[in-house]
Amino acid sequence: MADQLLDQVREAAEGQIDFKGQELAELLATILLAAVGVISFVVGFINQDIKLALYLGLGGTALTLALIVPPWPFLNRHPVRWLPVGGVEKKSQGIMMDGQVIA
């Protein structure tokens, strides 16, 4: 009972996303943060306002965190489709180990 509860909490806290989502998250995070850096420097330099640069940088980073960190549905659109249990196993060549077929 306690184990089940812990597993549920873990599941929620872990926030897994699929492989395509991971690729997208990586790419988005890199592009967004780099863009935030460039924008904050350029805007700050043009306005000669270092505080503006600081706030732009921090705000942009907060937005990026909010977009990337939680397991949003758009990062989970390509769930892994596992092969059915016992479906293909019979056709496989089998892996020999210590003289026994193990898969």
Partner 1 sequence: MLSALQNPRQAAAQLLNFGLILSTAFMMWKGLSVISDSPSPIVVVLSGSMEPAFQRGDLLFLWNRNLMEETKVGEIVVYNVKGKDIPIVHRLVRKFGLGEEAKLLTKGDNNLADDTELYARGQDYIERKDIIGSVIAYIPFVGYVTILLSEHPWLKTVMLGLMGLVVVMQRE
Partner 2 sequence: MHSTIVRGQNVFGFFTTVCFVVAALIAASDLLAPRTPKATVAVKDLQVVRGRPHYYSTKKEEYAIIRFSLSADLSSLFSWNTKQVFVYVSASWPNSTLGDAGKGEMVNEAVIWDTIITNPSADHLQNIGPAAMKKLVRSTKGKTIDPSRGKLELKNQKAKYQITSPDGKLAETDNMVLKLHYNVQPWVGVLTWTPQIEFGSWKKVKGGISKAFKLPAIKAKKVVEKKSA
Within residues 3-42, the interface with partner 1 by CB under 8 A covers: 7, 9-10, 13-14
Give the C-alpha separation, 72 to 76, whole Å.
7
d(CA 58, CA 64): 10
Q: Which does 9 bind (CB under 5 to 8 A by kind): partner 2, partner 1, none?
A: partner 1
Q: Cβ contacts of residue 79 below 8 Å, gap of 6+?
A: 18
Name which of 8 and 47 has its Cβ closer to partner 2: 47
- Residue 58 is a binding residue for partner 1 (CB under 8 A): no
Stretch that binds partner 2, among 1-9, 41-49, 76-84, 86-94 (CB under 8 A): 41-49
| Burial track 62-75 (b if 16+ CB lie within 10 A, e otherwise) | eebeeebeeeeeeb
Chain contacts with partner 1 (rule: CB under 8 A): 7, 9-10, 13-14
